């Protein structure tokens, strides 16, 4: 279905075109309609056309080697996508899915050639769109390296959580043990020696203070253990991702080795055939 010239005129990519040029382009450009959840193309499909969002929203995503979906970007009215596969005639590098009812303008290579011939400035818009997608992909690649679990947990701690972790760590140190031992010894000495009798034997007040200290410290230790358990859970997830990626990389290397071995055997067979042919010719 051909596009409407007035629809083309509202899009930033074609804003500089004249009415005659818009009419000419509208006859060549096709209008595609997608329903929510409908895939326009998938990664690996042949790329024969580029698309411009006339209305609606398109999600551009890829699947990494761990099988996780990565949303690269969302394309809205006036945005261009799919131009890379069309220009180099290669396979699609991502999957495009409609999130809402969407209308797209479809341009193949002949349509693009007509557009650039009529208005060379339009090529700059295409290059700008390609550059934005490349920057987005580079940012995702930089942020999707293996996570440092310790840094990720530490950066998210509040002041109260930092204080809790410090108290839990300090309560398990030799310094804390010596301070408690010295405090108990001084308390008992003052009440037994007769210098003061604020807590005479059997030191009921000291017993209550020690019990309260034990309760508070046990709660703080449990809080620290819960945070450590959450940290261990994240570490397990990271290790699983690394193991899956390592397994996929090993499988990929195995395929490469098999491919090289096959090529090497083919070369040996050709060399052997040449040697036999040379020997027979010489005899």
Q: What is the pLDDT of residues 124-158, one digit of tens each?
A: 665 665 666 566 666 655 555 555 555 555 656 77
Calpha distance 91→259 (Å, rounded): 22
The more confident residue out of 135 and 62 is 62
Query: Given a cut of 60, is residue 1 above it in pLDDT?
Result: no
Q: Please state which of the ranges 126-130, 179-183, 224-228, 245-249 shows the lowest mean pLDDT.
A: 126-130
- Which residue, 116, 108, 128, 3, is CA-closest to 55? 3
Extents of the domains making up the chain = 5-143, 149-279
Other C-beta atoms within 10 Å of 99: how many? 15
Residue listed under structure tokens 């002949």:
110
Q: Name residue 51's beta-bridge partners.
A: 81, 106
CB hemisphere CA count around 77 (13 angstroms): 9
- Global pTM? 0.44
Instruction: Reply yes or no on domain 5-143 having CATH 3.20.20.70.
Output: no
- Which residue, 111, 66, 69, 68, is CA-closest to 86? 111
């Amino acid at each position: 279905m051909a596009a409407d010239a007035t629809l083309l005129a509202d899009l930033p990519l074609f804003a500089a075109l004249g009415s005659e040029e818009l009419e000419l382009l509208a006859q060549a450009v096709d209008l595609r309609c997608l329903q929510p959840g409908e895939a326009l193309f998938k990664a690996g499909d042949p790329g024969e056309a580029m698309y411009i969002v006339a209305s609606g929203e398109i999600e551009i995503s890829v699947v990494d080697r761990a099988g996780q979906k990565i949303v690269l970007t969302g394309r809205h009215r006036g945005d261009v996508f799919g131009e890379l596969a069309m220009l180099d005639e290669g396979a699609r590098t991502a999957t495009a899915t409609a999130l809402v009812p969407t209308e797209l303008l479809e341009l193949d290579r002949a349509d693009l050639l007509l557009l650039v011939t009529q208005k060379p400035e339009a090529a700059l818009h295409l290059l700008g769109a390609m550059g934005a997608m490349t920057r987005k992909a580079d940012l995702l690649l930089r942020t999707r390296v293996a996570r440092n679990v310790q840094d990720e947990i530490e950066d998210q701690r509040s002041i109260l959580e930092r204080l809790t972790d410090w108290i839990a760590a300090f309560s398990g140190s030799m310094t804390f043990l010596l301070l408690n031992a010295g405090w108990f010894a001084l308390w008992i000495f003052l009440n037994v020696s007769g210098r003061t009798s604020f807590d005479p034997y059997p030191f009921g007040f000291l017993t209550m203070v020690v019990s309260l200290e034990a309760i508070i410290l046990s709660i703080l230790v449990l809080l620290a253990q819960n945070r450590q358990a959450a940290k261990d859970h994240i570490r397990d997830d990271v290790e699983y991702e690394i193991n899956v990626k390592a397994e996929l990389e090993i499988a990929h290397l195995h395929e490469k080795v098999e491919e090289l071995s096959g090529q090497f055997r083919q070369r040996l067979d050709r060399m052997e055939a040449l040697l036999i042919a040379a020997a027979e010719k010489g005899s």
